[in-house]
Amino acid sequence: MRKYLSIGLFILIGTNLVVLSGVVFNRMGEVTAHITLTERELSLPYSNGIDKENSGILLSVNWRTVMRKDEPYFYNSREVKITKGELLELGFDKFEENNNFKQQSRELYWAFEFDGELYAAELEKAVLQYQTAFASYEAKPSDTTKRNKEDYSAKLKREQTTNSRLFFIKASADYKSLAAQLSDKKNILIVKGLTKPYYKSENKSYSLLLKHLSVSNIMVPVAHSEVFIGLHREYKSTPRYTAEIKWGSGLEPWIISTKRIDN
């Protein structure tokens, strides 16, 4: 019995050492990104609220892709169009066009832009959509044009105050080349994420499904958890907090500071 206990203890200690060494490597190396996000990009967990200091708080990272013309305004598929050549460059060299179920997912480097040109374009799009709907209602009032005006007004408000400003730019199999391509831009974040290719036989097109980030949640240290006490997860509110975050050489995040926003 002692032998098995010793083996179990040895494995546990070894596992913890591996995890700790990974954390040290990530934080001691180069800081690859340093960005302050808000509740728009960092959601509270699904719960009845955080009523006391809790070292187990996890913030979910919210991100988006640019809305395609064929997508409804309330839905974001997180699917991007791509060519077969680009899929091959990403490492999907055994792609079977007639069998999407057999396609294997791959972990790639994903680049994001925070509160930049992509968000500005989406905001401008929402403004134009509302202006068009408002003009239609003014020209010909009806239940339909009134409903459209109200829907696009709500969409614009969400775009201005609630929706994430963290936008996916592109994926790559090589970190250095991706970082070099975006070196002239500000607030760029490069992390790892799981992707899967798809082939659409009806129009003979290829797409890349952005399944999820490899690290999609960020742990809140006890020292920074007080900001979240008493807060509940909400969907229709202006941001109530900020979190200053760094990503290290392992492309994993950790929180530097948090702050409550007085609305």
Give the Cα separation of 247 and 32 in Å (integer).
6
- Whole-number pLDDT of residue 4: 45
pLDDT at 92: 87
The number of C-alpha atoms within 13 Å of 251 and in the hemisphere containing its C-beta is 19
Other beta carbons within 10 angstroms of residue 50's beta carbon come to 21
pLDDT reported for residue 60? 95
**Domain map of the chain by residue range?**
31-116+165-260
Residues 66-76 as b/e (b if ≥16 CB within 10 A, e otherwise) read ebeeeeeeeeb
For residue 180 the two structure tokens come to 């070099």
pLDDT of residue 229: 86
Q: Specify the pTM.
A: 0.85
Tens of pLDDT along the chain (263 residues) come to 555 455 444 444 444 433 344 455 556 678 999 999 999 999 998 865 555 555 578 999 999 999 877 665 556 778 899 998 999 899 987 777 777 767 788 999 999 999 999 999 999 999 999 999 999 999 999 999 999 999 999 999 999 999 999 999 999 999 999 999 999 999 999 999 999 998 888 888 889 999 999 999 999 998 999 999 888 888 777 899 999 999 998 999 999 999 999 86
